[in-house]
Structure 1
Amino acid sequence: MNNSSSNREEDRRKETNSTSLSSLDSRFNQTLRNVQQLLKGRSFPGKVLISRRSDPLNDSSLRSPDIDRRFSDKDAGTSEQHDDFVEDDIQSNSKPNANSTVNKSRSSSSSVDDTSRESQKSTTGARATDSARLMKFKKSMSGPTIILDKLRELAWNGVPPYLRPTIWRILLGYAPPNSDRREGVLRRKRLEYLDCVAQYYDITDAERTDEEVNMLRQIAVDCPRTVPDVSFFQQAEVQKSLERILYTWAIRHPASGYVQGINDLATPFLVVFLSEYLEGSVDNWSILDLSREKISNIEADCYWCLSKLLDGMQDHYTFAQPGIQRLVFKLKELIRRIDEPVSKHMEEQGLEFLQFAFRWFNCLLIREIPFHLVTRLWDTYLAEGDALPDFLVYIFASFLLTWSDKLQKLDFQEMVMFLQHLPTQNWTDVELEMVLSQAYMWHTMFNSSPSHLAS
């Protein structure tokens, strides 16, 4: 009798455990489906690095003579060149494809050969993964009309350097998505820029108001200070180009005029559009190698793209810069919600977000990260389009909380010094991709639920 009761009790226990496990599996599967649904339709940022992973002291990820000369818009379709581009620019681990099987058949008796074979298998696998992504860019750009939403989705995770000038023009709305109209529009806008320079810049000080004279002098002072750690920007002709771009923009936008920090925003455009004509590292460039016509076209493209960018955030640069102040407040609230210990520590130490974050919003982090990473960051900026100002809050929150543990150990003075000289000088694409991935997740969580940020 006791044995029978014991058996029944054992059966009930097994049945209960089975039901519990089944329920747990069901909840897990439902959670997994929810996450998949959340991310459906958008490739998760940070998985694929399009930019080159290079030593910031030795190279620039903006351009390579081998890549850009042999991988032009005209010959981008050849598979051999395509493989060379990926091998040079992509470093990731993946399963080997059929080409690695050929490597296995090569006989070798030394461990060096074995290591070489393993390395080749890894590189070949990376080609198989990232070649598909590069081909998506080519396919997206090859049609008579580019689908902007698809291009933005691709560009969010980084743009191949050889396509960056064209894609940036299109994302900003400077160049039309219709390929038949593109050259004509660019030609007309470049001539319009020349007319503006002749009308506003190429005149004497006697023809300017006192306010315009002072503004031009301030721009002339700021241009030599622009990206001081990149020697290219210390060339006199480069500074003159910046001066023309900034002064012409300021005259045509009297609501804001010139504000310190806008000079930094012109530099990514200048480097990207110069990369269509100059090879190698930006540190070895000389603008004097270009004709006057090419320099004029580059300036015009910079001017119009800068204008398009600032059109979406003009209240960042009007009197008292209310747009920036509003976003700094949102950043403070977001940090309080995401990482309360850091928020509380900063408040206890009396550190105001305006003391460090104002410059971040004013210059869009250009002064906070190595310059060779700026164009990769701006791929994401421009892919966001009109939503960029709000998305900046999440990027800067992710950027700040990279040092969450460190900040909680510092007093007021130490925090101010640390945040003004952040240790990003050795950053690569990996660290930047982590910041962007975290920002994307927080944006997904909070942006559609503003009540989560309410006090």
Structure 2
Amino acid sequence: MRSNSTNNSNSSSSSNHRLRPDKAESPDSRFNQTLRSVQGLLKGRSIPGKVLLARRSDPLDDSSCQDRSPKYERSLSENDTGPSDRTDKSMEEDDKGPFKPSTHENLNKSNSSSDVHSTPKEVQKSAIGARATDSARVMKFTKELSGTVTLERLRELAWSGVPPYMRPTVWKLLLGYAPPNSDRREGVLRRKRLEYLDCVAQFYDIPDTERTDEEITMLRQIAVDCPRTVPDVSFFQQAQVQKSMERILYTWAIRHPASGYVQGINDLVTPFLVIFLSEYLEGSVDNWSLSDLSPEKISYLEADCYWCLTKLLDGMQDHYTFAQPGIQRLVFKLKELVRRIDEPVSRHMEEQGLEFLQFAFRWFNCLLIREIPFHLISRLWDTYLAEGDALPDFLVYIFASFLLTWSDKLQKLEFQEMVMFLQHLPTENWTHLELEMVLSRAFMWHSMFNSSPSHLAS
């Protein structure tokens, strides 16, 4: 992505050029205008049929969405903003994101991307300002969560971000762990939690003399990896938290012998732990302690994490089997997509001898958890889980957008510098704005290329 200074200096002239009626629009101009239009649309608002992608200056009227159902009536205090979004201090900050409609738009297609990564300053402001109010956002989810849930509509809403304190419920529904019928939900969760406890008793709470050598080795590897997981978040350094992770991971590995435990799966437990723990604890995640929970609630927490991890990995099993062929296949797709979108950076990486497996393998293995600040992970995972079975293929577009954030920078680096840069990407100061830009571009490119495979094959 070009620097902010570049964007600011060019924003006025580039915007005037695009809006001047007597000038013919270039493909790049049409692409950027479409991208800005998608960002400017109300997040989560479903518009049937084709969507007219045009800039909108007037905010949509949310006066009809002032009432809330008592079921989710809570003040939006700091305690309600969700454990992984504390730094934003408000639900509204978490509510910035691209609109994902129920049908694909007819998009202007372009092979060129010379100006894809620049976003004028006034466009950034309009993308922030043209959002639904918090009450309207909550109202949409409240309406959908009352009674029997229609998963397709819930996915459309969740793709653009979930109100933080609703995430535990929404994530369980999106993953198919909790049933859509609210009358059955409590009974199903109780049964699954008891099933998890039985598995722990059968596979984990046994002496090493009853384990095979392979199982002992696997348990020791998990015990080594848990303290290394998300080291910059103090919550995960608690011994009790690491013990819960160990039980979850080992039980999962024993019950999935085709893959067993693979390093990286430990990272995938962490978003579930934080989100589901927010049902029991308030305040900052840095001040949480599992010792504040009863053993029964800890078992509930572990069971929910276990089953949701299972549901997530069921859709990408070949990512973690021998030689991880699923990840290798997606890395190849990523390389080809980047070549089609940004040929100069693709050619430069190839000339320098940099293989995509050298950096992108970890992205697919850990789903970017090690690449972006942890307080943004829950927002990213809203989109992941909303994609459902289509997630593996959509990851290719998210990671292409993530990589090309630094297109200009990468073209100036030689091999060793690129390797170091891609292993330590400068995302520590990222906010929701940068993440939403990544998701916006991913959605645009998916709409352009996924339904037209010949674009990638030619």
TM-score interval for Structure 1 and Structure 2 normalised by the shorter chain: 0.7 to 0.9
- What is the Cα deviation at residue 127 of structure 1? 9.0
Could you list the per-position Cα deviations for residues 185-241 of structure 1 after superposition, in whole angstroms to 9, with x for gaps in the alignment? 000000000000000000000000000000000000000000001010000000000
Report the 3-state secondary structure (helix = DSSP H, G, I; strand = E; otherwise coil) of the residue aligned with 1:369: coil
d(CA) in 1 for partners of 2:451, 2:130: 36
- What is the Cα deviation at residue 245 of structure 1? 0.1
Question: Which residue is 1:203 aligned to?
Answer: 206
The structure-2 alpha-carbon separation of the partners of 1:188 and 1:345, relative to structure 1 and needing over 3 Å to count, comes to same
d(CA) in 2 for partners of 1:76, 1:44: 29
- 5 Å-filtered alignment, 1:176-191, equals 176-191=179-194
8 Å Cα contact 1:245/1:302 also seen in 2: yes
Whether 1:281 and 2:278 are equivalent positions in the alignment is no
Report the 3-state secondary structure (helix = DSSP H, G, I; strand = E; otherwise coil) of the residue aligned with 2:164: coil
8 Å Cα contact 2:93/2:432 also seen in 1: no
The structure-2 alpha-carbon separation of the partners of 1:74 and 1:246, relative to structure 1 and needing over 3 Å to count, comes to farther
- Matched AA of 1:147: T
8 Å Cα contact 1:382/1:388 also seen in 2: yes
Question: Which residue is 1:312 aligned to?
Answer: 315
Could you list the per-position Cα deviations for residues 90-140 of structure 1 after superposition, in whole angstroms to 9, with x for gaps in the alignment? 1599xxxxxxxxxxxxxxxxxxxxxxxxxxxx9xx9896342222101100
Question: Which residue is 1:175 aligned to?
Answer: 178
The structure-2 alpha-carbon separation of the partners of 1:396 and 1:46, relative to structure 1 and needing over 3 Å to count, comes to farther
Could you list the per-position Cα deviations for residues 282-326 of structure 1 after superposition, in whole angstroms to 9, with x for gaps in the alignment? 111111110000000000000000000000000000000000000
- What is the Cα deviation at residue 75 of structure 1? 5.1
d(CA) in 2 for partners of 1:343, 1:132: 43
- Matched AA of 1:140: E
* Aligned length in residues: 371
8 Å Cα contact 2:158/2:386 also seen in 1: yes
Q: Computing the radius of gyration over CA atoms, which structure comes out larger, 1 or 2?
A: 1
Question: Which residue is 1:434 aligned to?
Answer: 437
8 Å Cα contact 1:156/1:379 also seen in 2: yes
- Structure 2, unmatched stretches of 5+, are 1-20, 26-30, 45-67, 82-88, 96-125
The structure-2 alpha-carbon separation of the partners of 1:48 and 1:296, relative to structure 1 and needing over 3 Å to count, comes to farther
Q: 1:419 aligns with which of 409, 417, 422?
A: 422
- 5 Å-filtered alignment, 1:321-360, equals 321-360=324-363
The structure-2 alpha-carbon separation of the partners of 1:189 and 1:401, relative to structure 1 and needing over 3 Å to count, comes to same
d(CA) in 2 for partners of 1:45, 1:126: 9
The structure-2 alpha-carbon separation of the partners of 1:429 and 1:230, relative to structure 1 and needing over 3 Å to count, comes to same
8 Å Cα contact 2:231/2:237 also seen in 1: yes
- Matched AA of 2:317: Q
- Matched AA of 1:212: E
- Matched AA of 2:90: D
d(CA) in 1 for partners of 2:77, 2:271: 28
- 5 Å-filtered alignment, 1:38-437, equals 44=38, 76-77=72-73, 81=75, 88-91=90-93, 129-142=133-146, 144-437=147-440
TM-score (norm 1): 0.76
- What is the Cα deviation at residue 83 of structure 1? 10
Q: Which runs of 4+ in 1 moved over 6 A?
A: 82-87, 125-128
8 Å Cα contact 1:46/1:436 also seen in 2: no
d(CA) in 2 for partners of 1:149, 1:224: 38
The structure-2 alpha-carbon separation of the partners of 1:46 and 1:417, relative to structure 1 and needing over 3 Å to count, comes to farther
TM-score (norm 2): 0.76
- Matched AA of 2:258: A
The structure-2 alpha-carbon separation of the partners of 1:397 and 1:92, relative to structure 1 and needing over 3 Å to count, comes to closer
8 Å Cα contact 1:48/1:130 also seen in 2: no
Question: Which residue is 2:116 aligned to?
Answer: none
Report the 3-state secondary structure (helix = DSSP H, G, I; strand = E; otherwise coil) of the residue aligned with 1:163: helix
Question: Which residue is 1:453 aligned to?
Answer: 456
The structure-2 alpha-carbon separation of the partners of 1:91 and 1:195, relative to structure 1 and needing over 3 Å to count, comes to closer
- What is the Cα deviation at residue 374 of structure 1? 0.4
The structure-2 alpha-carbon separation of the partners of 1:273 and 1:203, relative to structure 1 and needing over 3 Å to count, comes to same
Question: Which residue is 1:104 aligned to?
Answer: none
d(CA) in 1 for partners of 2:141, 2:211: 47
- What is the Cα deviation at residue 76 of structure 1? 2.6
d(CA) in 2 for partners of 1:241, 1:152: 30
Report the 3-state secondary structure (helix = DSSP H, G, I; strand = E; otherwise coil) of the residue aligned with 2:397: helix
Question: Which residue is 1:114 aligned to?
Answer: none
- Matched AA of 2:233: V
8 Å Cα contact 2:230/2:236 also seen in 1: yes
Report the 3-state secondary structure (helix = DSSP H, G, I; strand = E; otherwise coil) of the residue aligned with 1:177: coil
Q: RMSD across aligned C-alpha pairs, in angstroms?
A: 3.1
d(CA) in 2 for partners of 1:162, 1:83: 11
Question: Which residue is 1:8 aligned to?
Answer: none
8 Å Cα contact 1:174/1:304 also seen in 2: yes
Report the 3-state secondary structure (helix = DSSP H, G, I; strand = E; otherwise coil) of the residue aligned with 1:90: helix
d(CA) in 2 for partners of 1:91, 1:35: 24
d(CA) in 2 for partners of 1:92, 1:168: 16
